[in-house]
């Protein structure tokens, strides 16, 4: 049985309360999709929420994350160049008032993504016993990996249009479908041409969603490059290095997770998400957030 993500609307009261605490601590207007999967295991969500919120609300943690965010943005600017089309678009519209205002949203999004990266890389390290203990559950491990890889749509985690769409200055009228990279580029190329050729009047109210779409297409191409994955590993190491400076320990070993979740048939899938999928996806999300910064 696959994990069924629990949205805020579907959640029971105790899960909603955890979601709200996490949103408040992140400074995010909506819940990042990662937590909707943990929400399917209320006991573990409750257990880990307290630890995460304590760190996220600590001034020293916020200072740590802000410094890391600046470093990440500088490295991404240096290594991940924007396409000529996107650069032309920026040059054409950067003097419009709405262009100025959405810069603030992009900075908040980037900072939120760095916080998430710290959280989920921290959880992976806390769950390290999974790598050893999983040998006791070989059949469940392989099944969990296969099910998760088939069901988790990476685009949803990296680009998370729900998060982007909730910011004050974002009023997206453009939807990006869940297709493969090649199919998405092909289906959106006419839209991209329209964005580049559009008049200032056409773009006045929708600069941010259209900029997001241009960056989305650029980023999908960059993911195919070897230097992208080298940079991803470098950034992950930087995030990992911050863990020792967390103001409060994140304690979530294998045996604790099992005790809290083993009554659910798909608890092994949660272990795989926390130990493998989420840490990888959250670093790519961090990279996209940094790539958006102009």
User: What string of H, E and C letters represents the secondary structure of 183-217?
Assistant: HHHHHHHHHHHHHHHCCHHHHCCCHHHHHHHHHHH
- Per-residue model confidence as pLDDT tens digits over 109-125: 999 999 999 999 999 99
- Per-residue model confidence as pLDDT tens digits over 180-229: 444 444 444 554 555 555 554 544 556 888 888 899 999 999 999 999 99
Helix %, strand %, coil % for the chain, to 5? 75, 0, 25
Q: In the numeric block, which tokens belong to residue 229?
A: 């994955």
By CB atoms closer than 10 A (0-12, 13-18, 19+), residue 34 is buried
Residue 128 · residue 136 · CB < 8 Å:
no
- Residue 76 region by backbone torsions, left for phi larger than 0, else alpha for psi between -120 and 50, else beta: alpha
Q: In the numeric block, which tokens belong to residue 13?
A: 């009261």
* In the chain, domain spans: 13-292
Please state the rounded mean pLDDT for residues 18-31.
Answer: 94
- Measured in residues, the chain has a length of 294
- Evaluate if residue 3 carries a pLDDT over 50: yes
Please give the torsion angle defined by the CA atoms of residues 293, 241, 144 and 11, in that order, rounded to the nearest 10 degrees. Answer: -60
- Per-residue model confidence as pLDDT tens digits over 130-182: 555 555 444 445 555 555 555 556 777 888 755 555 554 444 333 333 334 44
What is the average pLDDT value for the chain, to the nearest integer?
Answer: 81
Q: In the numeric block, which tokens belong to residue 189?
A: 């190329």
Distances (CA, A) of 168 to 80, 93, 285: 27, 20, 20
The per-type count for the chain, helices as H runs and strands as E runs, is 17, 0
Please state the rounded mean pLDDT for residues 41-65.
Answer: 96
Contacts made by residues 8-16, CB under 8 angstroms, sequence distance 24+: 8/36, 11/39, 12/42, 14/42, 14/46, 15/39, 15/42, 15/45
pTM, full prediction: 0.81
- Evaluate if residue 1 carries a pLDDT over 80: no
């Amino acid at each position: 049985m696959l994990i069924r993500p629990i949205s805020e609307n579907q959640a029971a009261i105790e899960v909603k309360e955890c979601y709200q605490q996490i949103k408040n601590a992140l400074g995010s207007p909506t819940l990042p999709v990662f937590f909707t999967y943990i929400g399917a295991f209320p006991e573990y969500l409750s257990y880990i929420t307290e630890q995460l919120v304590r760190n996220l609300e600590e001034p020293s943690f916020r200072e740590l994350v802000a410094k890391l965010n600046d470093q990440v943005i500088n490295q991404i600017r240096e290594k991940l160049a924007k396409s000529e089309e996107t650069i032309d678009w920026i040059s054409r519209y950067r003097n419009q008032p709405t262009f100025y205002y959405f810069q603030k949203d992009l900075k908040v999004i980037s900072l939120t993504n760095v916080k998430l990266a710290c959280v989920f890389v921290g959880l992976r390290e806390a769950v390290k016993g999974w790598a050893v203990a999983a040998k006791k559950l070989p059949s469940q491990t392989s099944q969990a990996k296969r099910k998760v890889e088939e069901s988790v749509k990476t685009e949803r985690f990296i680009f998370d249009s729900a998060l982007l769409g909730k910011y004050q200055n974002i009023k997206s009228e453009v939807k990006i479908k869940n297709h493969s990279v090649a199919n998405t580029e092909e289906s959106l190329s006419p839209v991209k041409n329209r964005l580049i050729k559009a008049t200032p009047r056409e773009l006045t109210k929708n600069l941010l969603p259209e900029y997001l779409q241009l960056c989305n297409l650029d980023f999908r191409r960059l993911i195919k490059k070897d230097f992208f994955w080298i940079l991803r590993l470098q950034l992950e190491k930087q995030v990992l290095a911050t863990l020792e400076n967390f103001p409060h320990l994140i304690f979530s070993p294998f045996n604790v997770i099992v005790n809290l979740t083993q009554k659910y048939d798909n608890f092994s899938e949660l272990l795989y998400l926390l130990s493998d999928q989420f840490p990888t996806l959250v670093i790519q999300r961090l990279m996209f957030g940094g790539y958006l910064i102009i």
